[in-house]
Amino acid sequence: MSVNIIDQMVAQGVPFAREYGGLLDNRSFGGAQVSRTFYARGQTGQQLLLGAYQQFSRQVGLGGIRLFNRCELVDVVVVDGRASGIVVRDLMTGEIQSHAAHAVVLATGGYGNVFFLSTNAMACNVTAAWRAHRRGALFANPCYTQIHPTCIPQSDEFQSKLTLMSESLRNDGRVWVPKNADEVRAAHDIPEADRDYYLERLYPSFGNLAPRDISSRAAKRAVDKGLGVGPLKNGVYLDFSDAINRLGRDVVEERYGNLFEMYERIAGENPYDVPMRIYPATHYTMGGLWVDYELQTNIPGLYAAGEANFSDHGANRLGASALMQGLADGYFVLPYTIGNELAPMLNKPIPGTDHPEFKRAEQEARDRYNGYLNVNGTRSPDWFHRELGKIIWDYCGMERTEQGLEKALSELPALYEEFKKDLRVTGDGNSLNQTLEKAGRVDDFFQLGMLMCRDALDRNESCGGHFRSEYQTDEGEAQRDDDNYCHVSAWQWGGDAMSPKLNVEPLEFKEVHLATRSYK
């Protein structure tokens, strides 16, 4: 499939990097020991997105697609057990509208912004997936979240997002921290003997390219031991001086020039002279709406594609494979599977937007948004989002414990109650109101956050992006429990955020046998 994707995207004009002979170039990526990843400078994902956008625009121009810009899905309508359409809120006018259809596809991304600080774009939210969940779609493995090791560390309390530095940097950068917690010398003045290149030491074969979860936890442990670097001692060094000496500054500049510039703009330091400082941040969520092999959720007619679903990655995701999934789902899976559902419905009428279920969903949406406006409390949606994010990061972030998760599950409902009583949304509901949009999203993040913690508490093992401190080997590696947890946890909405019902789907391995990959 990935070969088809590259061929397709190249045919559409995505400018993948080429060798001098004109063939496609490759490079290595986290979790891989060979160069096998196609790339377009440090912005492969962006270029693939633009390529898909151009094809999409072509269809818009041809009249095959109608776009509703600046509209947000606020509910999925289910009639007689089938997904029959959606309810949206026009962000420009606040008007609630319905669209009826034979099938609904959610390609609405992941929920990483539940942490408040993440590498996701600011508008990413869980609302579409969550509203489908509340209408009966199962939400699978919400605790599988990926923390990316190469982000710029937080610099202050008001920080709004964390910037990802492309993982390709780990190809040539060496990760290290000082050996002594009381180190005060500048990076350059610390001699080799006083540096700990901990990834190379712990994982000699993968070294600086160890997978994301392993690299992230190793960085967290170094910082937790007080070995962190930078003004807040909250990062580790990613040092390019060896690469610059070996390859020359020109080569390093060609490979990473734009990333170095970006780093300098944000951190105010020049990474050609001073090592970069990096620290892990939430980047991707492997969990999502449960789907079958046809990408259909348990609600007939409702599909979920890309990061919005739970499929493909299991408990962890390797570099570049989210792009693969998004493109495979959209270009090569859905076009072939959705027809199976649609064919028997030929010439059959579907419920229109005047159906009572649509009217009911519309009214609920109106009440919901009016509700936010009428609380008249004292705290903004952003304030609540930040507090929610702190709880999730502290107790359901890189390392989780039973005690911590239980604490989170007692703090979250309390904060959610406060949200309902003390929220303040200024402005009105009949015009563009970003504060009101945010309130709706934070509401859904609260409910999802509780499910995440519940799922993490339920999974008494460490597995990929889910690391429970109680379950680790003597060397600090994740310890799975295949006897009891070799399954997908698909949660069903139980009427309120604190009472989800668990459905278990066993994982069967027929051709490839279950093993533990060693990165040593």
Partner 1 sequence: MSNHLTNLTLRVWRQKGPNDSGHFEDHAIEQISDEASFLEMLDILNERLIAQGKEAVVFDHDCREGICGTCSLMINGQAHGNQRGTATCQLHMRKFKSGDTIVIEPWRASAFPIIKDLMVDRSAFDRIIESGGFITAPTGGAPDANLIPIPKPVADSAMDSAECIGCGACVAACPNGAANLFTAAKVSHLNRLPQGQAERYKRVEAMVETMDEYFGSCTNHGECEAACPKEISIDVIALMNKDYRKAKLKNRKDLSRT
Residues 362-381 that bind partner 1 (CB under 8 A): 378, 380
Residue 223 CA from chain centroid, whole number:
23
Q: Which is nearer to partner 1, 363 or 426 (CB)?
A: 426
22 binds partner 1 (CB under 8 A): yes
The only residue of 29, 30, 37, 40 in contact with partner 1, by rule CB under 8 A: 40
Size of the chain, expressed as the number of residues it contains: 520
Token pair for 446: 């609260």
Residues 389-428 that bind partner 1 (CB under 8 A): 424-427
434 binds partner 1 (CB under 8 A): yes
205 binds partner 1 (CB under 8 A): no
**Which range, of 161-169, 208-216, 296-304, 408-416, touches partner 1 by CB under 8 A?**
161-169
57 binds partner 1 (CB under 8 A): yes
Based on its alpha-carbon atoms, the radius of gyration of the chain, rounded to whole angstroms, reads 24
Running DSSP on this structure, what letter comes out for residue 157?
T
CB of 211 to partner 1, least distance (A): 23
Q: Which is nearer to partner 1, 152 or 452 (CB)?
A: 152
**Which range, of 134-142, 240-248, 290-298, 432-440, touches partner 1 by CB under 8 A?**
432-440
148 binds partner 1 (CB under 8 A): no
The only residue of 26, 28, 171, 435 in contact with partner 1, by rule CB under 8 A: 435
Instruction: Please give the Cα distance from 407 to 425 (Å, whole number).
Output: 29
Q: Which is nearer to partner 1, 48 or 138 (CB)?
A: 48
Which residues face 89 on adjacent strands? 72, 96
Token pair for 323: 């792009």
Main-chain phi, psi angles of 282, to 5 degrees: -60, 135
Instruction: Please give the Cα distance from 519 to 209 (Å, whole number).
Output: 9
514 binds partner 1 (CB under 8 A): no
160 binds partner 1 (CB under 8 A): yes
Main-chain phi, psi angles of 24, to 5 degrees: -65, 140
Residues 324-353 that bind partner 1 (CB under 8 A): 331-332, 335
Instruction: Please give the Cα distance from 255 to 271 (Å, whole number).
Output: 14
Q: Which is nearer to partner 1, 266 or 342 (CB)?
A: 266
From the number of C-beta atoms within 10 Å of its C-beta (0-12, 13-18, 19+), residue 323 rates as buried
19 binds partner 1 (CB under 8 A): yes
192 binds partner 1 (CB under 8 A): no
The only residue of 31, 37, 47, 146 in contact with partner 1, by rule CB under 8 A: 47
Between the alpha carbon of residue 82 and those of residues 79, 298, 487, the distances in Å are 5, 10, 27
Q: What is the DSSP string of 345-385?
A: GTT-----TTSHHHHHHHHHHHHHHHHHHH---SB-HHHHH
Instruction: Please give the Cα distance from 36 to 2 (Å, whole number).
Output: 11
479 binds partner 1 (CB under 8 A): no
Between the alpha carbon of residue 504 and those of residues 147, 396, 431, the distances in Å are 25, 21, 44
Interface residues toward partner 1, by CB under 8 A: 4, 6-24, 40-41, 43, 46-47, 50, 53-55, 57-58, 60-61, 67, 69, 92, 119, 121-123, 155-156, 158-161, 163-164, 231, 261-262, 265-266, 268, 331-332, 335, 378, 380, 382-383, 424-427, 431-435
